[in-house]
Amino acid sequence: MLDYKLLQALAAVVDQSGFERGAKHLGLTQSAVSQRIKLLEARLGQPVLVRAPKLAPTPLGRRLLNHVQQVRLLEYDLLDQIPALGEREQRLRLAINADSLATWWSPVTGEFCRRHGVLLDLVVEDQDVALKRMRDGEVAGCICATPRPVQGARSHPLGSMRYRALASPDYVSRYFPNGLSLDALSRAPAIVFGPDDRLQHRYLEMRGYQAPFPHHLCPSSEGFVHLTQAGMGYGMLPERQVARELEEGLLVDLDPDSFIDVPLYWHHWRHGGSTLEALTDHLLVASGAWLMQGPV
């Protein structure tokens, strides 16, 4: 039989990205948590964590984390059905892309969380890599651009976010006075969300440009907008996020006839309990008012 105190230690170390923070989360000493992980590995006869160069679960560790994640969700359901077991807050750990968090996520999920008494533990990841968090057993659900679910999970299309190449008027006059020539694109600094963000590369390929380009890295959706407004670069921004800035002329569309639609999918564990199912039903209905529907 599995010892859930040991599994709890594994989950805490991975969720908190380290032994020290995991120990604080559990209210234990770092030594105690380390001993629990070692005991778990001794009982299983193989490691559950890779310690270096970066802390990460092994394939066995990921399977155990998936199990822990689903047990937590089912436990919430049981506590709802048997009040005598005591009250406990419902907490869902989810991975979501920064642009969704900056635009439609809060208005869509706010009322649901208040009505169901759910607390969210949000992990921000690029839409192209968020599914890795589920594969590693770190989250109960995720928003990503990949339709195919991991084993044991389901995937649902939500809609698409439309991105356009935008910049400040001053930036356009400095770098693109004669339009978007390949030479100008090779010199103009862009803004990219992070190393996993491929939107800028996709846009440049649409324009016939496939060489390296100067760029800032800005892992913040709001910061991305601020840098663009400040004339530091041009970048791919969601229409909905900057509607006011476009209307007021603070940002301009470099290429009005071109855009990139990014489809978003909601992934969740198949046996995740009633709260996760209720959130899924809510997202499938409420997100339609914020995301573009139909084929991309």
Domain residue spans in the chain? 161-261
**Given this model, what pLDDT does residue 128 score?**
73
| Tens-level pLDDT at each residue, the chain (296 residues) | 788 899 989 989 988 889 999 999 889 899 999 999 999 999 988 999 998 788 889 989 988 988 888 887 777 777 667 666 655 668 888 999 999 999 999 999 999 999 988 999 999 988 777 888 888 888 899 999 999 998 889 999 999 999 999 999 999 999 999 999 999 999 999 999 988 889 999 999 999 999 999 999 999 999 999 999 999 999 999 999 999 999 999 999 999 999 999 999 999 998 888 889 999 999 999 999 999 987 65
Q: How far, CA to CA in Å, does 160 sit from each of 115, 254, 256, 290, 291?
A: 27, 21, 18, 9, 5
Whether residue 191 contacts residue 218, with contact meaning beta carbons closer than 8 Å, is answered with: yes
Q: How far, CA to CA in Å, does 154 sit from each of 71, 96, 180, 253?
A: 17, 16, 42, 37
Name the CATH architecture for the domain at 161-261. 3-Layer(aba) Sandwich (3.40)
The structure's pTM equals 0.80
**Given this model, what pLDDT does residue 80 score?**
67
Residue type, 273: G
